[in-house]
Structure 1
Amino acid sequence: MPAAQDPRPLLVCFGDSLTAGYGADPGQSYPDYLQADLDARGYKYRVVNEGVSGNTTKDGIDRLAGIVAMKPAVVIVEFGGNDGLRGLPIEDSRSHLDTIVGTLKASEAKVLIAGITLPPNYGPAYIKQFDATYPLLAKKYDVPLMPFLLKDVYGVPGMMQADDTHATAAGNKIVAGELVPFLTPLLKK
């Protein structure tokens, strides 16, 4: 059914390459598998993949008006990895994410934050500050948090691509399944 004629409420997956499904074949991103999982559980939502590879939290702000204009019922916010990998100031990333989550909440969308972490070579002090961003914002806006999007696939053979950053199709399927318990309290049957 064309999107314009699809009456189901929107669940927007808003993020970077982890959301976009970088390196996986079309139809094998975590939003694709999430659609199948929700359909199988009787949740009538249309999952829309708004992941763009390479996006930082600042890029997320630049795309935010378009997401709000879609009038989503629920948004999974997954940003920050590219900020961290580039060593951008934590305060800037945190401020950008605050704007994203705050704007979505003000638009009456329900929000789930999907956190990410960094490889150990970024140093414990930077990683600790980086990781603290997600629970701080979840608490501030009273939204659920999946602390680490890749928690059950990172470092697991066959679940991560050779770059050790992006999930394989099999990994994306697991990520989708792991998101469901965080999402279901936000959904209506």
Structure 2
Amino acid sequence: MKLRAAFLSLLAAALIGFCASATHAETDEIVIVALGDSLVAGLGLPRNQSFPAQLEAALRAKGTQVRVVDAAVSGDTSRAALQRLDWALPEDADAVIVELGGNDALQGLPPAATKAALAEIIEKIQAKGLPVLLAGMEAPRNLGKDYVEAFGAMFPELAAQYDVILYPFFLDGVALNEELMQKDGIHPNGKGVAVVVDKITPKVDALLAKAGG
């Protein structure tokens, strides 16, 4: 009986230790929220080929315990994303990637209005104590030189103003490459998303460092 009791005590202790380790592991998980539009949402792609899914897989392959939350809505302008921001950020968020502006440019919205919306998004995220990675975008050249320059300039200006990490162009190395884009010429295919993830990962690593990773 004493031997059985001792065994049960050891078993109970082991189970408690296992549960504690599991809880600790869950607590150590870093949650990155990807706030964006169709480029993040993975329009036209299976879910496992979307940016959040591929980024999470790439980070986990490196041994980083992370969860990437897809908080993207296809068609969103910066102002639309701002309006849903409060409920788009989960309570357990540790960091945020902001990829917006493409739809603003496609609609020809004034760069000043886009910049103001992005500024408010960053301010609200920082008010929650969360670090930000801002992914830049480029405007179509047919909108004219002045528009293109004003649009492109706002991302580094915002990054400097709010001291956030900047990835200058979300589709760097992918845009205009037919092998990496879907037939619409706007959205990357699965291989294109993989290139985006590979190129942006060093900036995400910096974001994780700010988040305590």
- Does the alignment reach a TM-score above 0.5? yes
Matching of residue 78 in structure 1 with residue 105 in structure 2: no
Rounded to whole Å, the distance in 1 between the matches of 2:88 and 2:64 is 21
Larger radius of gyration: 2
TM-score, length basis structure 1:
0.93
Instruction: Find the counterpart in structure 1 of residue 151 from structure 2.
Output: 130
User: Quick one: which amino acid aligns to residue 104 of structure 2?
Assistant: D
Contiguous gaps of at least 5 residues in structure 2 = 1-24
User: Quick one: which amino acid aligns to residue 183 of structure 1?
Assistant: V
Cα distance, 1:128 vs structure 2 = 0.4
Rounded to whole Å, the distance in 1 between the matches of 2:152 and 2:129 is 26
Rounded to whole Å, the distance in 2 between the matches of 1:160 and 1:173 is 11
| 1:23-172 alignment, distance < 5 Å | 23-172=44-193
Rounded to whole Å, the distance in 2 between the matches of 1:143 and 1:17 is 23
Rounded to whole Å, the distance in 2 between the matches of 1:185 and 1:122 is 34
Q: 1:100 to 1:166 in 2, by over 3 A?
A: same
Local SS of the residue matching 1:134: helix
Which aligned runs of 4 or more in structure 1 are off by greater than 3 angstroms? none
Cα distance, 1:136 vs structure 2 = 0.8
Cα distance, 1:60 vs structure 2 = 0.8
Cα distance, 1:6 vs structure 2 = 5.2
Cα distance, 1:138 vs structure 2 = 0.4
Matching of residue 10 in structure 1 with residue 27 in structure 2: no
Contact 1:31 1:176 in 2 (8 A): no
Which among 204, 209, 213 is matched to residue 183 of structure 1? 204
Identity of aligned residues (%): 38
Cα distance, 1:157 vs structure 2 = 2.7
Rounded to whole Å, the distance in 1 between the matches of 2:186 and 2:137 is 11
Local SS of the residue matching 1:27: helix
How many aligned positions are there?
185
Instruction: Find the counterpart in structure 1 of residue 42 from structure 2.
Output: 21
Instruction: Find the counterpart in structure 1 of residue 21 from structure 2.
Output: none
Cα distance, 1:155 vs structure 2 = 1.4
Rounded to whole Å, the distance in 2 between the matches of 1:63 and 1:95 is 16
Cα distance, 1:96 vs structure 2 = 0.3
Rounded to whole Å, the distance in 2 between the matches of 1:185 and 1:89 is 31
TM-score, length basis structure 2:
0.83
Q: 1:85 to 1:182 in 2, by over 3 A?
A: same
Cα distance, 1:90 vs structure 2 = 1.3
Rounded to whole Å, the distance in 2 between the matches of 1:40 and 1:145 is 24
Rounded to whole Å, the distance in 2 between the matches of 1:6 and 1:177 is 26
User: Quick one: which amino acid aligns to residue 148 of structure 2?
Assistant: I
Contiguous gaps of at least 5 residues in structure 1 = none
